[in-house]
Amino acid sequence: MKKQFAFFSGLLALLLALPASAQFAKPEDAIKYRKASFTVMSAHFGRVGAMASGRAPYDAKAAAENADIAAAMSKLPWAAFTEGSDKGDTRAKPEIWKDSAKYKEAADKMQAELTKLSAAAKVGNVDALKTAFGPAAATCKNCHDNFRKE
């Protein structure tokens, strides 16, 4: 029993450590996956933005929930920029693969700002939300400007 447990926890650890690229059978699967995660992230980030800008009434609970989802989504797309997925139904620029260190830096910055946004949203006042929203939005724009085709 103990041995079995050790075996299965070892197996689980191994599976979790496998390169994320193993999740995608085909390049188009990776493209679909990363687009989906950006779409969900954008929807929830946009709801926070509407409150931060006063386009929607401030609702502390909704802000915290939406910012949390955006922050969780921000962890997902990166593993889906797999080899060969630069071609196809994508606006991803070749620079993502050519200058991957710069792309990773931008991606890390975006995740860090969304983590801050989600912490700020939990403070429960709209000023904290406003303060964190701008820098987070700037990290979205940075990648669009540098790494996404028109």
- Where on the chain is the footprint of ligand ASC (CB under 6 A)? 42, 45-46, 49, 137, 140-141
Least Cβ distance, residue 82 to ligand ASC (angstroms)? 22
CB of 27 or CB of 49, closer to ligand ASC = 49
| Beta carbons within 10 angstroms of residue 40's beta carbon | 15
Least Cβ distance, residue 49 to ligand ASC (angstroms)? 5
Residues 6+ away with beta carbon under 8 Å from 49 = 55, 133, 137
CB of 45 or CB of 103, closer to ligand ASC = 45
CB of 46 or CB of 84, closer to ligand ASC = 46
Q: What are phi and psi of 92, to 5 degrees?
A: -65, 130
CB of 3 or CB of 141, closer to ligand ASC = 141
CB of 24 or CB of 45, closer to ligand ASC = 45
Least Cβ distance, residue 8 to ligand ASC (angstroms)? 41
Distances (CA, A) of 107 to 54, 102, 112, 146: 27, 9, 9, 12
Question: What residue is closest to ligand ASC based on CB?
Answer: 42
CB-CB contact of 67 with 52 (8 Å): no
Least Cβ distance, residue 46 to ligand ASC (angstroms)? 4
Residues 6+ away with beta carbon under 8 Å from 130 = 52
Instruction: Read off the tokens for 12.
Output: 């689980």
Least Cβ distance, residue 130 to ligand ASC (angstroms)? 14
